Structure 1
């Protein structure tokens, strides 16, 4: 971690007043947040894109169609640049994949539209083919690797999204011609919101209900040619189009598609988990049909991990803009006689609004990086194992972490973007401030690749299953040990709050103790409520649905927060001595702010029984904000990407806020021109008060 020579110095300017107060070397802290080799990869991507004309910010506003054209051209150029070096290609699976994910991560934080097009049309498509396909799909996989085809994943339907089992697009096997016949029964079954489908892709990876010999075998994946690659015109039997204007990510051509007796070869079925013989017999490597769907859809976790990475990086950009702005923007003085105004970062209210999101950015950045490594290790085990079922426990826990982590990070990023925008006042509403773009990028993330609330239910279901095991004395299935403390549930639930001073809650162990108690209490409450509902005659699904509010949904979020905190603490133990103090303060602020949100549960469950608990936690939050103030800009510099990536007139690293604003406002090509429609608003007899009155 000592070699920081490859990290460029930041420009001197108005931000120096706060940079000089930092008690640590921001470059060394950057290497706490970033793997040095992966950071070099990101820097190479950013420097290359910054020099390329197609990746420059347009001077004028583009309409939706032009944004799609521009994103398509940027994607083609990005693929041509080929950032994957020969050295990377020869690395072991985990490290190689980490490099490739880092390259995509660098693109995502800079050009989210292009990143999504690439992730869906190339990355996720290749992963799905590798996971679910076999040797007979190698020619398609090779074409995807070489960037010769752009694909899409068609799963969601107009009337069904999260409830995948009820999707109604069908693929019926015709053994006389050894083909599958794809049909869309009606518009409600049309595949929709499919990225790349609206205008550009030529191949689709379609999920449809497989029928053969009159029997349905559930949802399977099929390769479906969509457009002629020479003309981009759809093939006969297909109705395909664009979804229309959206509220963000305008460069992505989200589309819909319907099929009428559209035929594809039998071999286009991705057949690793199940296959159909030429005679129409269905063969599966799974003993339980329900596991086929799980194996097919588990591959989507890769996309969710990517969303977690992208959202954590967007969160960093949001707080970077807000903190740099707050360190320069001055408002009011201590007294009417004073001429010297204070930077708004000095105000406690402003610190309380922004600093917790800085802490969240730090914790979540470390969490995503650490969890990605664990996730890839599990994927590597699954691809090398002879039986996927042997990894059921790993896969289930990974799914629980992803299903809770993706909602947590995307929701925090969504809220942070709004708070940071407001903290920058009216200037934050400028498009050049970039909050609008960040909002447009994060908003769909709470919905696609799994609606956040539905994903959360899957995580809470897993936690309740583990809790049920403790009730009957069975061993927990938690190889990653994210809920291993359930084994100590009796001792945990007997704990009581007995601290007396603010300093007592400023300890990492206090955060651990609170999280363990809160998760254990919430899982017990959820379990009790579900058991009560079952005894009242409700089915299992109804019992789960009726125990979400105030129970399971809160449990899921707290579980995700705790996982993030655990990963952060693990990495903190490896930090250089000079960084420990500030990094610990960030972790404490993250934890205390969250505990404060759930204070009612601590009182409800009997952990706390006097107002002192709430007073000390709140006091700890304010104390940490005050303590972190002089170091907060150094933390931001350590996490922030270059100005080219932040892309904000308010958040430039030179701190020349008003000079940059002047250049942005007055440099707008249309800023000082007369509108072309000026004649339409002229009032013929309007008085001209500039002209002098004639003398009588």
Structure 2
């Protein structure tokens, strides 16, 4: 890899962390450019500097009320539009570069204010993307007005009683040929639209998903409509609409999530997004699909873009949490071998390393995976837009959907558990709001649920994987694996893979890429075979596909999808590790991070490896655990360099425990002393003094 200019990356300030920085064997700035594209990193830095020039984007020391958070997020969005980040220079690029820049801007915004990022993503990016993919020229004025910030929109899909099961949603849009209008109606509260971001207080339009019914009473499935919600001059709802805010949430309270019901509310025929299906003025339904399920699939495929954005944001959040905890661990000192000895930094303790370093490795591997996978995803969309070969594209879209459906759960769940572990690893100080970890946790938590509940998504991934298994194991009509991205192309050799056994006896036998690759391919083949065998046995016993599929989810199909996602992360990261042009010092630390994440994942899946007979006796378990601990120790002196490469600037990290200078105690003193009204007598002092005095 040619030497890259790193001069635009600021140096780290001097401070207590220098003790460990001087031990790092590689150039952390060069590692940063392995984790991040140089142009996109510079774009992020420009966004951050611009936003921080306005006080409305500054962090507040005390959490405002939920109503004030909504107000600030709305004002931030208005100012965000004024800054004009989406310049003609960016928007005139070809699709892939333009979209990469747009995703990077949103990624930078999310790192500073997740509320603002979500508000923009839901109300502008996702809505305009939906209009472009499902609408026609007649919807371009709405598209332009939304993109420029003239109007704020929302995507209304979920209902009170149905979220994942979109086919059963009950909001209806019935066509009236007499007036050439659709009549939108909510039959009861269970069919009310809910959890709609921007709907509660602020949006004026909605992209509404409703069951399209023609005048003859036939239902044609879920379709999307552009629906005016509020008067843009007063923000009061139109007659026929009941709309409101759902109330305070666990986090992300800058987003006004709302509910909405329609009472025979009429919209023009042209409100239907009609690229794929339409209704003539006379009421005839026309579509390019042969069944409603295809229409539904096309309408919901837009969610993949949102899910890719979620895994980007989650990999960054994971990086931020790890950075805070590792930096703190290098400064915080407790105990020592003897009472008279100097205390040790807690990063020196094996237990602290074991708690944090696997998550550090996960942050690195996932960050690289997300970057490479996003490029593939954008290539696929670009090829689709340009009319690529249908058969190849169909297979690629299906594989990408499976990858997203497995990797969103893996990455968001890993991030959730990492934040909690990092919070606990920082002790009581991690519980302070000023640590930054609480906000990371609360704002991330929703990601395991929205844009596809994780436990539902993993089922979609396992469905695709089982189709590939059946394809290569059909004795009468054997086919090739439909895996254009080669994530499961090894299934063609499943018979040979399943014959393999672990024969290792020393730690070095598990400390290699070949071992990690072999173990993961074996697990995937065994889980696929076991899941299919149990499914077929239950199908034979019940003659019911639904119950047969339901019976294999726990321990088999769910595990299958997550192991598939872990393998994808490792395969993509290894491509980066094995680049022969890498400096040896960078290659060395990357390989250690690869092995640590790989062995850590295998340690979590030892039950599968033993259950299927890949290993017997204690050797595999002992060696994998020994390998994890050895790598934790080997990465101890490199850890500060690794997190420096992962870390954003201090004003983005926003943590008194994780600043780049390592001055934890100075920061804590400032936080204590400058806590608003922290040293004042409470305003309610006279309510308690009489009660205290009476007991003296």
2:618 pairs with 1:614? no
User: What pairs with 1:295-334 in structure 2 (closer than 5 Å)?
Assistant: 295-334=298-337
> Kindly tell me: are residues 287 and 239 of structure 1, through their superposed partners in 2, closer, same or farther at Cα, counting changes over 3 Å?
same
DSSP 3-state at the match of 2:337: coil
Q: Distance in 2 between matches of 1:640 and 1:296?
A: 37
User: What pairs with 1:49-68 in structure 2 (closer than 5 Å)?
Assistant: 49-68=51-70
DSSP 3-state at the match of 2:5: coil
Match of 1:638 in 2: 645
2:250 pairs with 1:240? no
Match of 1:98 in 2: 100
DSSP 3-state at the match of 2:252: coil
Q: Distance in 1 between matches of 2:327 and 2:296?
A: 48
Q: Distance in 1 between matches of 2:347 and 2:61?
A: 32
> Kindly tell me: are residues 278 and 610 of structure 1, through their superposed partners in 2, closer, same or farther at Cα, counting changes over 3 Å?
same
User: What pairs with 1:101-112 in structure 2 (closer than 5 Å)?
Assistant: 101-112=103-114
Q: Distance in 2 between matches of 1:34 and 1:587?
A: 17
Match of 1:527 in 2: 532
Match of 2:411 in 1: 409
Match of 2:148 in 1: 146
User: What pairs with 1:475-554 in structure 2 (closer than 5 Å)?
Assistant: 475-554=480-559
Residue 272 (structure 1) aligned to one of 269, 272, 275: 275
Residue 9 (structure 2) aligned to one of 7, 29, 39: 7
The gaps in structure 2 that reach 5 residues or longer are none
Q: Distance in 2 between matches of 1:617 and 1:136?
A: 60
Q: Distance in 2 between matches of 1:530 and 1:591?
A: 29
User: What pairs with 1:379-390 in structure 2 (closer than 5 Å)?
Assistant: 379-385=381-387
Residue 601 (structure 1) aligned to one of 608, 611, 636: 608
DSSP 3-state at the match of 1:438: helix
* CA shift for structure 1 position 573: 2.4
* 2:199 and 2:245 in contact (8 A); partners too: yes
* CA shift for structure 1 position 599: 0.7
DSSP 3-state at the match of 2:243: strand
The gaps in structure 1 that reach 5 residues or longer are 690-696
User: What pairs with 1:425-464 in structure 2 (closer than 5 Å)?
Assistant: 425-464=427-466
Q: Distance in 2 between matches of 1:160 and 1:60?
A: 36
> Kindly tell me: are residues 273 and 657 of structure 1, through their superposed partners in 2, closer, same or farther at Cα, counting changes over 3 Å?
same
DSSP 3-state at the match of 1:193: strand
DSSP 3-state at the match of 2:690: coil
Residue 17 (structure 1) aligned to one of 16, 19, 22: 19
2:567 pairs with 1:559? no
Say which is worse superposed, 312-321 or 381-390, in terms of deviation: 381-390
Match of 1:254 in 2: 257
* 2:491 and 2:525 in contact (8 A); partners too: yes
2:338 pairs with 1:335? yes
Task: Give the TM-score of the pair, scaled to structure 2.
Answer: 0.97
Say which is worse superposed, 479-488 or 321-330, in terms of deviation: 479-488
Match of 2:284 in 1: 281
Q: Distance in 1 between matches of 2:293 and 2:390?
A: 14
* CA shift for structure 1 position 643: 0.5
Say which is worse superposed, 391-400 or 423-432, in terms of deviation: 391-400
* CA shift for structure 1 position 425: 0.2
Q: Distance in 1 between matches of 2:351 and 2:502?
A: 28
Q: CA RMSD in A?
A: 1.3
String of CA shifts for 1:27-73, please: whole Å, max 9, x gaps. 11110101000000000011112221111112443111001000110
DSSP 3-state at the match of 1:364: helix
Say which is worse superposed, 8-17 or 384-393, in terms of deviation: 384-393
> Kindly tell me: are residues 642 and 685 of structure 1, through their superposed partners in 2, closer, same or farther at Cα, counting changes over 3 Å?
closer
Q: Distance in 2 between matches of 1:415 and 1:210?
A: 42
**Count of paired positions:** 688
> Kindly tell me: are residues 191 and 544 of structure 1, through their superposed partners in 2, closer, same or farther at Cα, counting changes over 3 Å?
same
Residue 227 (structure 2) aligned to one of 224, 231, 243: 224
* 2:542 and 2:548 in contact (8 A); partners too: no
Match of 1:165 in 2: 167
* CA shift for structure 1 position 147: 1.4
DSSP 3-state at the match of 1:204: strand
* CA shift for structure 1 position 2: 2.1
Match of 1:48 in 2: 50
